[in-house]
Amino acid sequence: MQVSVIGAGVAGLACALEFAERGVEVEVLERAAHPGAGCSYFAGGMLAPWCEQENSGPLIARLGEESLAWWRARFPGTIVNGTLLVAHGRDAAELTQFARRTTHFEWLSAEAVAALEPELAGRFAQGLHFRDEAHLDPRAALAALSTRLRELGAELRFGVEVSAGMLRGRHIVDCSGLAARAQLAGLRGVKGEMLLLRLADLSLARPIRLLHPRIPVYVVPRGDGLFMVGATMIESDDGERVSVRSMLELLSAAYALHPAFGEAQIVEIGTGVRAAFPDNLPRLHRAGQTLYVNGLYRHGFLLAPALARRAAQVLLAGAHFPEVMDEDPRQRRLA
Ligand SMILES: Cc1cc2nc3c(=O)[nH]c(=O)nc-3n(C[C@H](O)[C@H](O)[C@H](O)COP(=O)(O)OP(=O)(O)OC[C@H]3O[C@@H](n4cnc5c(N)ncnc54)[C@H](O)[C@@H]3O)c2cc1C
Protein residue closest via CA to atom 35 of ligand 1: 7
Q: 21, 37, 39: which is closest to 29 by C-alpha? A: 37
Angle among Cα 44, 133, 261 to the nearest 5 degrees reads 45
Q: How confident is the model at residue 285 (pLDDT cuts 50, 70, 90)?
A: very high
Q: 270, 287, 27: which is closest to 180 by C-alpha? A: 287
Given a cut of 60, whether residue 332 has pLDDT beyond it is no
Given a cut of 50, whether residue 335 has pLDDT beyond it is no
Closest atom, ligand 1, to C-alpha of 293: 26
- Between 30 and 331, name the one with better pLDDT: 30
Q: How many CA atoms lie within 13 A of 59 on its CB side?
A: 14
Question: Cα dihedral sign for 318, 323, 328, 329?
Answer: negative
Q: How confident is the model at residue 308 (pLDDT cuts 50, 70, 90)?
A: very high
Q: How confident is the model at residue 169 (pLDDT cuts 50, 70, 90)?
A: confident
Q: How confident is the model at residue 327 (pLDDT cuts 50, 70, 90)?
A: low
Given a cut of 70, whether residue 148 has pLDDT beyond it is yes
Q: How confident is the model at residue 326 (pLDDT cuts 50, 70, 90)?
A: confident
Does the C-beta of 35 come closer than 6 Å to ligand 1? Answer: no
Pairing relationship of beta strands 283-287 and 46-47 according to DSSP bridges: unpaired
Q: With 0-12 CB in 10 A as exposed, 13-18 as middle and 19+ as buried, what is 146?
A: buried
Given a cut of 60, whether residue 331 has pLDDT beyond it is no
pLDDT recorded at residue 329: 46
Does the C-beta of 194 come closer than 6 Å to ligand 1? Answer: yes
Does the C-beta of 51 come closer than 6 Å to ligand 1? Answer: no
Given a cut of 70, whether residue 278 has pLDDT beyond it is yes
Residues 157-167: what's their mean pLDDT?
A: 93
Specify the length of the chain in residues. Answer: 335
